[in-house]
A = this chain, B = another copy of it.
């Protein structure tokens, strides 16, 4: 849309233990290891998307785990290099106000799961700021 290259910047990248909420979301045991990754997508110096992904490590092929944790590789490319057959189950789609993600600018937030063999491989929440930056 901007006709400029999209840059993926990793803001944070941790392995966490699933708390009750995350365990329920991903349908895994509480305490299982989860990759928690936050990236920003920007073009021409402007951030257009903020995305958080939660991926249960126990369900990741080994090489995929490495790619995911090496960061700065878009999810779509990671899935493609592994020839995984997946579907996307769309979840919430809502407008959130007063969130810190874009310094309080209202955001359009959507969440979905990338599903493989009927297991959630990844939960993703993308947030798009609602302001003039989209007047391209």
List which A110-124 residues lie within 8 A (CB) of chain B.
Answer: 115-118
Closest B residue, CB atoms, query A79: B87
Residues of chain B within 8 A (CB-CB) of A21 are none
Residues of chain B within 8 A (CB-CB) of A84 are 87
Distance from A80 Cβ to chain B, minimum over Cβ atoms (Å): 7
Interface string of A69-87 (1 = CB under 8 A from B): 0000000000110011111
Closest B residue, CB atoms, query A117: B85
User: B85 contacts A87, CB within 8 Å?
Assistant: yes
Closest B residue, CB atoms, query A82: B87
User: B87 contacts A86, CB within 8 Å?
Assistant: yes
Residues of chain B within 8 A (CB-CB) of A83 are 87, 89
User: A80 contacts B87, CB within 8 Å?
Assistant: yes
